[in-house]
Amino acid sequence: MSTHFVIIGNGAAGYRAAKALRRADGDAMVSVFTEELHPFYLRRQLGEFLAGNLTLPEVIFQSRNTYRRDRIDLLLGTAVARIEPAAHAVALASGQRVQYDRLLIATGTRAVPLGIPGTDLEGVTLFDTLTCASETRKALKDVRRAAILGEGVIGLTLAESLLGVGIRVTQAIRGERFWPEILDEQTSALVETILEDHGVALRRNQQPRAIIGAAGRAIGVETADGETFPAELVACGCRRRPAVEMARDAGLDVGRGIHVDASLQTSDPDIFAAGDVAEPVPGDDFGEEGAAFCWQRAWAQGGLAAASMLGHQAAPTLEAVRIRTILFGHDLAVIGRGHLPESDTVKALEFREDPALYRRLVFENDALVGAIVFGTGETVHELNRMVAQKAPRDTVEGRLGLAPAAPAVDRLPSTFARHCPICAAELVVHHGTRAGAVLRCHACNTDLVVRWDGEHGWLDVDQP
């Protein structure tokens, strides 16, 4: 009998897992359930689609025919309502039940409801699916001003896309600075500067009280201070939480996300979780706001989940990147706990290489636990690995070429004679020679480094 792999969710994690399962096991049945209406598409490119830089076929990465060719049973518009672990079954919203041998939960995140009046008005969007993005794109002709409520990757994407098509953008942030749960002060300031330089009107310390409407359409936002700003488009899905309800109801161990081990197995041996819905595994401790909503991580975990569902031993994904995006051409990556403030045990090294390039490395007890990169993404891959491995500080500094400059070298105060450590020939080192200088042995031609510890001098075969 062939194995039936069932996957809930067809985003980066679910899609990648389905493809990997099919490739590895030609006899298996692979079924993917998604409440969405489109096959796999590039969710992180929805902003480009809105701005008109990408067409629908360019965003939809895989057609339904490709699933058919791969014999992956894709059920669009099909929400799973319940997981029944004891029966090895999922119950669909339609009431139908489907048996599984191994199940993958890849349900991503859901917007945290704002809990204010007006979110059901036309012109209010979560901007988190292709359906939302298509509707928003169609409605843009009637939009001159937009409001983005809160911070997050979706809001950043949207701000850039809307400005790109000539719409005025106001963004209301909850505190004094941008996204303090994820960014350190410097990075918040950099993001704010870029947004404001490009024309976003940032409103700080603003809690929305209501979305105001007329004739069923959004026309503006009212804040708790009684301020109002006009907007025909309001984005309100910036704060997200892992979509864990079904897993919790099924009795799986759940915290902020679904608890998984390093192989992405949940507390039920036949159920796995991957992507944004999975809580970072112990050791990937991302801190208080311990979630990572990241395409790259979801994609990597989809592959690992498939291997684990097949019973293979696979190396952990070592993905510590929590946020990776591009804002007006600037890379922004938050890795692990890159935002942590300094304390007795936490030290942060900040590098401002030029006004538009900033890196922050965070060490806890001298192990790298986080990093933030803003400007260029060249070091993100390397930093991701090192955070995932909690690399010691000297290794990090060495690999990134950040080792502090060698202290000014002393000059030898007296002349002394030493034997070559290779051939034992006698060599004379004259006073005034710089410590670290290289001498060549006249007998064996070995290059020797002059060492001086402040009191004693000697010759070494190491490179300076």
Cβ-based neighbours of 376, under 8 Å, separated by 6 or more: 331, 357
At its nearest, how many Å lie between ligand FAD and the CB of residue 45?
Answer: 8
Instruction: Identify whether the C-beta of residue 411 lies closer than 8 Å to the C-beta of residue 434.
Output: yes
SS3 117: coil
At its nearest, how many Å lie between ligand FAD and the CB of residue 448?
Answer: 51
**Residue whose CB is less far from ligand FAD, 179 or 363:** 179
Stretch that binds ligand FAD, among 38-46, 162-170, 208-216, 431-439 (CB under 6 A): 38-46
Segment 74 to 113, residues that bind ligand FAD, using CB under 6 A: 79-80, 106-109
Residues forming a β-bridge with 223: 208
Stretch that binds ligand FAD, among 41-49, 141-149, 169-177, 345-353 (CB under 6 A): 41-49
**Residue whose CB is less far from ligand FAD, 87 or 425:** 87
Site string for ligand FAD, 305-334 (x = CB under 6 A): -------------------xx---------
Segment 14 to 33, residues that bind ligand FAD, using CB under 6 A: 14, 33
At its nearest, how many Å lie between ligand FAD and the CB of residue 242?
Answer: 9
Cβ-based neighbours of 270, under 8 Å, separated by 6 or more: 85, 88, 100, 101, 102, 103
96: number of CA atoms within 13 Å, CB side? 8
Dist. CA 69–CA 214, nearest whole Å: 49
Residue 36 is encoded by which pair of tokens? 């969405």
Strand order in the sheet with 330-336: 321-327, 330-336, 367-375, 357-364, 346-354
**Residue whose CB is less far from ligand FAD, 46 or 429:** 46
Instruction: Identify whether the C-beta of residue 31 lies closer than 8 Å to the C-beta of residue 56.
Output: no
At its nearest, how many Å lie between ligand FAD and the CB of residue 178?
Answer: 16
**Residue whose CB is less far from ligand FAD, 151 or 276:** 276
Segment 361 to 400, residues that bind ligand FAD, using CB under 6 A: none
Segment 121 to 140, residues that bind ligand FAD, using CB under 6 A: 127-128
Binding residue for ligand FAD, selected from 9, 39, 280, 375, defined by CB under 6 A = 9
SS3 149: strand
**Residue whose CB is less far from ligand FAD, 182 or 459:** 182
295 binds ligand FAD (CB under 6 A): yes
Q: What are phi and psi for residue 307, nearest 5 degrees?
A: -60, -45
Dist. CA 431–CA 412, nearest whole Å: 5
Task: Tell me which residue of 67, 2, 20 sits closest to 41, measured CA to CA.
Answer: 67
At its nearest, how many Å lie between ligand FAD and the CB of residue 164?
Answer: 14
Instruction: Identify whether the C-beta of residue 430 lies closer than 8 Å to the C-beta of residue 407.
Output: no
- Cα angle 255, 258, 263; round to 5: 130
At its nearest, how many Å lie between ligand FAD and the CB of residue 427?
Answer: 59
152 binds ligand FAD (CB under 6 A): no
Binding residue for ligand FAD, selected from 5, 6, 7, 12, defined by CB under 6 A = 12
Stretch that binds ligand FAD, among 10-18, 116-124, 379-387, 439-447 (CB under 6 A): 10-18
Stretch that binds ligand FAD, among 12-20, 181-189, 194-202, 333-341 (CB under 6 A): 12-20
How many residues lie near ligand FAD (CB under 6 A)?
38
Stretch that binds ligand FAD, among 166-174, 293-301, 343-351, 366-374 (CB under 6 A): 293-301
Task: Tell me which residue of 53, 51, 7, 62 sits closest to 29, measured CA to CA.
Answer: 7
Strand order in the sheet with 228-230: 208-214, 217-223, 228-230
Instruction: Identify whether the C-beta of residue 166 lies closer than 8 Å to the C-beta of residue 157.
Output: no
268 binds ligand FAD (CB under 6 A): no
157 binds ligand FAD (CB under 6 A): yes
38 binds ligand FAD (CB under 6 A): no
13 binds ligand FAD (CB under 6 A): yes
49 binds ligand FAD (CB under 6 A): no
Instruction: Identify whether the C-beta of residue 230 lies closer than 8 Å to the C-beta of residue 120.
Output: no
**Residue whose CB is less far from ligand FAD, 232 or 276:** 276
Residue 289 is encoded by which pair of tokens? 């706001």
43 binds ligand FAD (CB under 6 A): yes
Sign of the C-alpha dihedral, residues 227, 232, 238, 241? positive
Segment 245 to 264, residues that bind ligand FAD, using CB under 6 A: 246
Q: At what angle do helices 380-388 and 393-400 cross, to 10 degrees?
A: 170
Cβ-based neighbours of 329, under 8 Å, separated by 6 or more: none
Give contact residues for ligand FAD (rule: CB under 6 A).
Answer: 8-14, 33-36, 43-44, 46-47, 79-80, 106-109, 127-128, 153-154, 157, 243, 246, 275-277, 293-296, 298, 324-325
